[in-house]
């Protein structure tokens, strides 16, 4: 195949351009820098604060993983929420929509580019997790949990951001709606233990991808087997599959110049 015969699919062209924009522009490197500073400060506080010493080492590991995932979720969510509505606000979306690339492929390209941010965050988080988990038998498990759980949740967050952005008429509305959805999903992690005992709340916890991943990670880090409660990963897996499988298809018919549900 010579160069003239080589053709990329539309999503690959969008992905390449978005990767260049993210990593050669200011956002990617800046976010990674802020993330590494944040993690350093967080670990120092955990290690230095005597009050924190009442937490067991396993709890600290779990919290570090959760915080890392949360930062990834929020960063990807906000970038995702800017993906289409930002172009809409800046007036550059029409140019993109005028190309023969199906809308669904534009969505896939932008979605995959967002995930690269998480791929950049994982290597930064690994030494910190390894540091807090040193001397325990869950050091390796912690890293695997971070990769699996984080990828599921960050992927879902990217999909929510892009989906909301594709439908929102303005960037402001997109940010507000995306943050609102994510707060709704994160809120149950803050419920007091007593409330969590109720069967309805329990059902909500296992069907909410964020709380389900949180519960599974806690169970494994607390010494449980990998298989113990692995079914908790079902809801994030299903949500991610739906978001990646149906999201681009949904937006393929609805991604429009002015936003909204109608094409």
Partner 1 sequence: MHDVVLNAQGIAKSYGQIQALDGLTLEVRAGEILGLLGPNGAGKTTAIRVMTTILPASRGHFTVMGVPDSRPEEIRALIGVLPESNGFPLAMTGADFLIYMGRLYGQSATRAETKATELLSLLGLENARRARITTYSRGMKQRLMIARSLVNDPKLLFLDEPTLGLDPKGQQEMLQRIREAAEVKRVAVILSSHSLEVVEAICHRVLILNRGRVIAQGSVAEITRRVAVPHACRIQFPAEAVPKALSVLSAMAGVTVERHANRLDELIVSFQGTRDDADMNAVVQHLIQAGVPIQAFSRESVRLSDAFLSMIAEVQT
- Residues at the site binding partner 1, with contacts judged by CB under 8 A: 3-8, 10, 13-14, 17, 21, 25, 87, 90-102, 256-257, 263
- 127: part of which helix (H) or strand (E)? helix 103-132
- 36: which 2 tokens? 């590494």
Which CB, 10 or 247, lies closer to partner 1?
10
With CA atoms as reference, report the closest residue to 135 among 61, 229, 246, 24: 61
The number of residues in the chain equals: 263
Smallest distance from partner 1 to CB 177, Å = 22
Which CB, 157 or 256, lies closer to partner 1?
256
Which CB, 53 or 92, lies closer to partner 1?
92
Beta-carbon contacts of 62 under 8 Å, excluding residues fewer than 6 positions away, are: 217, 218, 221, 222
Which CB, 72 or 104, lies closer to partner 1?
104
Smallest distance from partner 1 to CB 162, Å = 17
With CA atoms as reference, report the closest residue to 107 among 165, 23, 39, 171: 165
Which CB, 90 or 134, lies closer to partner 1?
90
Rg of the chain (C-alpha set): 20
Smallest distance from partner 1 to CB 71, Å = 25
How far is the CA of 109 from the CAs of 17, 28, 159, 162, 201, in angstroms? 9, 16, 12, 11, 37
Smallest distance from partner 1 to CB 19, Å = 12
Question: What does the alpha-carbon distance between residue 96 and residue 107 come to, in Å, rounded to a whole number?
Answer: 11
Smallest distance from partner 1 to CB 76, Å = 20
């Amino acid at each position: 195949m010579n160069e003239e015969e080589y053709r990329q699919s539309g999503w690959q062209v969008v992905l390449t351009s978005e990767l260049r924009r993210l990593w050669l522009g200011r956002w990617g490197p800046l976010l990674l820098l802020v993330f590494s500073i944040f993690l350093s400060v967080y670990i120092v506080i955990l290690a230095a604060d005597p009050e924190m010493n009442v937490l067991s080492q396993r709890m600290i590991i779990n919290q570090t993983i959760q915080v890392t995932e949360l930062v990834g979720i929020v960063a990807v969510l906000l970038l995702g929420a800017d993906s289409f509505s930002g172009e809409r606000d800046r007036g550059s979306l029409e140019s993109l929509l005028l190309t023969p690339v199906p809308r669904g492929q534009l969505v896939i390209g932008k979605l995959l580019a967002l995930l690269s941010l998480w791929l950049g965050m994982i290597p930064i988080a690994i030494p910190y997790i390894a540091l807090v988990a040193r001397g325990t038998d869950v050091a390796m498990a912690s890293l695997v949990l971070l990769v699996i759980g984080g990828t599921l949740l960050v992927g879902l967050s990217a999909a929510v951001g892009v989906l909301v952005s594709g439908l929102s008429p303005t960037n402001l509305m997109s940010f507000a709606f995306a943050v609102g959805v994510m707060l709704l999903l994160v809120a149950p992690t803050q419920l007091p233990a007593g409330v969590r005992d109720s069967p309805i709340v329990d059902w909500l916890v296992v069907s909410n991808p964020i709380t389900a991943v949180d519960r599974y990670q806690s169970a494994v880090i607390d010494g449980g087997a990998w298989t113990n409660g692995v079914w908790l990963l079902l809801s994030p897996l299903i949500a991610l599959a739906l978001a990646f499988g149906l999201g681009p298809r949904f937006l393929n018919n609805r991604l429009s110049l002015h936003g909204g549900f109608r094409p």
